[in-house]
Amino acid sequence: MDSPGANGAEAALPPPPPIPPNVVPLHEDKEQVPDVENQVAKPKRELMARKGLARRGQPIQLLTNHFAVKVANTDGYFFHYSVALFYEDGRPVDGKGIGRRVLDRVHETYSSELDGKHFAYDGEKSLFTVGALPQNKHEFMVVLEEASSNRAAGNGSPDGNNSPNEVDRKRLRRPYRSKSFKVEISFAAKIPMNSIANALRGRESEDSQEALRVLDIVLRQHAAEKGCLLVRQSFFHNNPRNFTDLGGGVLGCKGFHSSFRATQGGLSLNIDVSTTMIVQPGPLLEFLVANQNVKDPYSIDWAKAKRTLKNLRIKAIPSNAEYKITGLSELPCNQQLFTLKQRGDADVEEITVYEYFVNRKGTELRYSAELPCINVGKAKRPTYIPVELCSLISLQRYTKALSTFQRSSLVEKSRQKPQERMAVLSDVLKTSMYDRDPMLKACGVSINSNFTQIDARVLATPMLKLGNGEDLKPQNGRWDFRFKKFVRPTKIECWAIANFSTPWDINSLVRDLVKCGEQLGIFMNQPLDIFHENPQTRRAPPSVRVEQMFEQMMGKIREPPQFLLCLMPERKTCTIYGPWKKKALAEVGIPSQCIGPNRKPNMAYYANVLLKINAKLGGLNSLLSVEHVPSIPLVSKIPTIILGMDVSHGSPGHSDTPSIAAVVSSRQWPLISSYRASVKTQPARSEMIASLFKPVEDRDEGLVRELLLDFYASSGKRKPEHIIIFRDGVSESQFNQVLNIELNQIIEACKFLDEKWSPKFTLIIAQKNHHTKFFMSGSPNNVPPGTVIDTKVCHPRNNDFYICSHAGMIGTTRPTHYHVLYDEIGFSADDLQELVHSLSYVYQRSTTAISVVAPIRYAHLAASQMGHFVKFEDASETSSSHGGMSNPGAVPVPELPTLKDSVSSSMFFC
């Protein structure tokens, strides 16, 4: 997740505002739905401190992309001032982007009044200095040579009577278009700089978080002065060498993340490579043709273009005046009229935009006549410019969802081998020249140019148990099942194939799948039947195609088969997938495996398919040897349930798509390899899980209840005495909410089942979205799987550690950062790290150790798969009968369909 505070930069921001009084849960008379996102957690529990360092594993020396920082000025104070900007007539400045220019002019013009002090400005409402300004409140008037681009919006004409530049100058003489600004700078707070030293001693406070935020703001300002695009703590230079074409008019732009971190080894500067997406700069028409993948400008879908172009900035040709796009004209350029008033002439005339530019301005327009104009004015005061005279300026973020091709292209082109990444990071630290920054100088900050050296350990690879009692030790985090058998293979006597117009050679497919199953210990009969889609329905909507396929199957098969093999016409992006899974799992109750076209399927491919089929049908592919014995400390001898929790959000640009919360749980204790899932929708972009406990009248309809009951039923009628929770996708700023709100909900769910039941809890956060990397000194290889780090770059007080559990085969390994927030169970540091490492080897879908514990990966899979069930574009038709929280003007949150009992406790998501 890339949420504010994920890297500590914004951890000290105030809590979100309370819910407006007019926002109520749907059917509030029947249930109480906690608004977890907007609750301010009471700090009943505090984040636990590190109890000790682990010792197990082979010692290894590594380098990390943290650079040691010294702060000489620890006796001083940062002074925080609030900034308010106004136009000359008193109206507040609401447009973003102009603040830095105004404050730069304040610094140039009034340096002596500010005692020559440099300041760090966040671009919005906060300004920081080292030491106090002469007064608690300052008011200044400054004048910019040019008005900001988005203030030069229209008066009903394409560009007024003359060229845009002349019009701008004319408007600036009017008071409400003035280029004069009033700046108010008012004292807000002071932050002791020694709070940084206190944080390094483990005494973190709001002051220390705020002090580190000031240093991060200095870095942002440093980048802004170089004309960079700023995205949180990452910055991107306008250098075409950093651009990569992803197709569709979208470029990947490489940049750098930099943030200050308090660590056990002292203050450090964390620098890493970062990537964002930008729109292709240059002619607007070229971008639209590429973005929509059409052959020429006349084929553009302008309704779609209007959404894509909203708020993008363009330069008008030939004046180079800059504007923000507010919309499109309703009529084509050669029909769109405006009122033209000649200078000094009382007469006005109606003229088309096309005629004005071609006949009055002598501009050649090849395409624009029949295309809409670009509106850079307001809805009631439009300013129209022909589309081919518009050129997109560089470094504008592209925030829409990427296609599958674009996403894979971005991943592929963003990869860097460890040594290449190290060289790039060394270079950026040198070229950034932070030692010359006046604010950092005033703080006495000096940054070491060498990568920090750290002591790490490589944990022993866990032994696996396969079929026939065979033991297997993975090599470099990988293993295979050649000449091996699954530890618990299923018997498939009754299955069928649904073929949606694919080119598969189905006879070969069946022969090879059955043969591969036999090698792995799975007995498979021949399929009951093979059902081919009627060619006449290929162009029907996906849901219709699925319905007709099931009608055909159920009309011929008397009893439901054990599972269905579905042959999809496309891979990854197939529109049939969602309707198929919904029908199979929620309406019919049959597990299914979908496969797409494959030109050269081999036995390794079929083995991979059978891994998933076996797990879905209740089998197990492999177990940990310590799980088989069983001998996992504090888990194998005392009934223990392991939960994995994650929230999946809609893709960028789909703000109304509900988020999906998923919780998976281990079952059949003492196993830790078998899981089931519970999934619910919640309001869009809500990261906190709202329905872990959900009382409705006299029952609990929350996510956790059914998981606890399943554990009891599948584990010999035992209640879990230990509950280990792995939570994904939250930032440091949200830890308190997870610890004091989400955990409370789980405790309430337990108490609702049995008031006397008091299990012990361990709560661990897993973060992948951070910027710490580790490197082998003098080696081109990634760190070995099982590498664990709990010193030097970890938190000065809190209980955290990094693990690279997987083998990084491509690019640079990204470790998972685990934060142990709470541990009533009482794990030793060694035992907990071993458990986390082992849980990376129980993922039934693959024959490799994965980068994060399997319960979290399963939760992500379950949320993602059930997200395909509902067509959220028309959420109002599937609105929840209960369970949705609604924001003003928002549609109710639709509920997911309930899975059939025959599949609800299976690993359907596998």
- Cα torsion angle, 764, 765, 768, 773, sign: negative
Confidence of residue 343 (pLDDT cuts 50, 70, 90): low
Q: What is the pLDDT of residue 680?
A: 94
Confidence of residue 203 (pLDDT cuts 50, 70, 90): confident
DSSP 8-state class, residue 838: H
* Six token digits for residue 726: 């792995």
Looking at 555-564, 761-770, 812-821, which range is the least confident one? 555-564
Q: What is the pLDDT of residue 778?
A: 85
Q: Please state the rounded mean pLDDT for residues 44-60.
A: 93
How far, in Å, are 111, 183, 839, 848 from residue 621 at the CA level?
71, 67, 15, 12
Residue 172 pLDDT exceeds 80: no
Q: What is the pLDDT of residue 146?
A: 59
Q: Please state the rounded mean pLDDT for residues 228-245.
A: 93
Looking at 10-14, 439-443, 563-567, which range is the least confident one? 10-14
pLDDT digits over 284-338, tens only? 999 999 999 999 999 999 999 999 999 999 999 888 889 999 999 999 999 999 8
Selected residue with higher pLDDT from 698 and 889: 698
Nearest to 420 by CA among 895, 756, 812: 812
Q: Please state the rounded mean pLDDT for residues 849-878.
A: 78
Residue 27 pLDDT exceeds 50: no
Distance CA 68, CA 359 (A): 65
- The amino acid that residue 627 corresponds to is E
**Beta-ladder partners of 128:** 80, 120
The Cα angle at residue 712 between residues 706 and 717, in degrees rounded to 5: 155
Residue 347 burial (C-beta neighbours within 10 Å; 0-12, 13-18, 19+): exposed
Confidence of residue 877 (pLDDT cuts 50, 70, 90): very low
* Six token digits for residue 498: 């649904």
Looking at 57-61, 522-526, 695-699, which range is the least confident one? 695-699
Distance CA 99, CA 104 (A): 8
Contact 706, 678 (CB under 8 A): yes
Who contacts 864 (Cβ-Cβ below 8 Å, separation ≥6)? Answer: 648, 660
* Predicted TM-score of the model (pTM): 0.88
The Cα angle at residue 47 between residues 42 and 48, in degrees rounded to 5: 140
Average pLDDT value over all residues in the chain:
87
Percent share of the chain, pLDDT over 90: 71
Nearest to 651 by CA among 404, 413, 910: 404
Confidence of residue 655 (pLDDT cuts 50, 70, 90): low
Looking at 14-23, 467-476, 780-789, 836-845, which range is the least confident one? 14-23
Who contacts 755 (Cβ-Cβ below 8 Å, separation ≥6)? Answer: none
Looking at 12-26, 242-256, 862-876, which range is the least confident one? 12-26
CB neighbours of residue 423 within 10 Å: 12
Percent share of the chain, pLDDT over 70: 88
pLDDT digits over 698-720, tens only? 999 999 999 999 999 999 999 99
* Six token digits for residue 872: 């959220």
Confidence of residue 190 (pLDDT cuts 50, 70, 90): very high
Q: What is the pLDDT of residue 875?
A: 36
| Summary count for the chain: helices (H), strands (E) | 21, 43
Selected residue with higher pLDDT from 12 and 587: 587
Q: Please state the rounded mean pLDDT for residues 501-522.
A: 95
Q: What is the pLDDT of residue 11?
A: 39
Residue 80 pLDDT exceeds 90: yes
310-323 residues labelled b (16+ CB within 10 A) or e (exposed): eebbbbbeeeebbb
How far, in Å, are 292, 543, 595 from residue 571 at the CA level?
21, 18, 7
Residue 43 pLDDT exceeds 50: yes
Q: What is the pLDDT of residue 37?
A: 56
Distance CA 757, CA 389 (A): 71
* Six token digits for residue 252: 């990947």
Query: What is the phi/psi pair of residue 267, to 5°?
Result: -75, 135
Half-sphere exposure of residue 713: CA atoms within 13 angstroms, side-chain side: 9
Distance CA 886, CA 26 (A): 7
Please name the residue ranges forming H helices in 28-85.
Answer: none
Q: What is the pLDDT of residue 600?
A: 85
Q: What is the pLDDT of residue 4?
A: 39
Looking at 7-11, 216-220, 708-712, which range is the least confident one? 7-11
How far, in Å, are 96, 110, 113, 143, 213 from residue 125 at the CA level?
11, 19, 20, 19, 14
386-409 residues labelled b (16+ CB within 10 A) or e (exposed): bbbbbbbbbbbebebebeeebeeb
Distance CA 759, CA 756 (A): 10
Residue 672 pLDDT exceeds 60: yes
Residue 399 pLDDT exceeds 90: no
Nearest to 567 by CA among 505, 497, 635, 491: 497
Residue 270 pLDDT exceeds 50: yes
Stated as kind and residue range, the H or E segment containing 492 is strand 491-492
Distance CA 614, CA 792 (A): 43
Q: Please state the rounded mean pLDDT for residues 836-864.
A: 97
Residue whose structure tokens are 């938190």 = 795
The Cα angle at residue 619 between residues 615 and 620, in degrees rounded to 5: 80
Q: What is the pLDDT of residue 414?
A: 87
Please name the residue ranges forming H helices in 634-678.
Answer: none
Q: What is the pLDDT of residue 484?
A: 95
Residue 687 pLDDT exceeds 80: yes
Q: Please state the rounded mean pLDDT for residues 251-273.
A: 95
pLDDT digits over 808-826, tens only? 888 999 999 999 999 999 9
Q: What is the pLDDT of residue 346?
A: 66
Q: Please state the rounded mean pLDDT for residues 234-257.
A: 94
Selected residue with higher pLDDT from 766 and 93: 766
Distance of alpha carbon 115 from its chain centroid, rounded?
Answer: 44
Query: What is the phi/psi pair of residue 839, to 5°?
Result: -70, -10
DSSP 8-state class, residue 571: S
Contact 517, 610 (CB under 8 A): yes
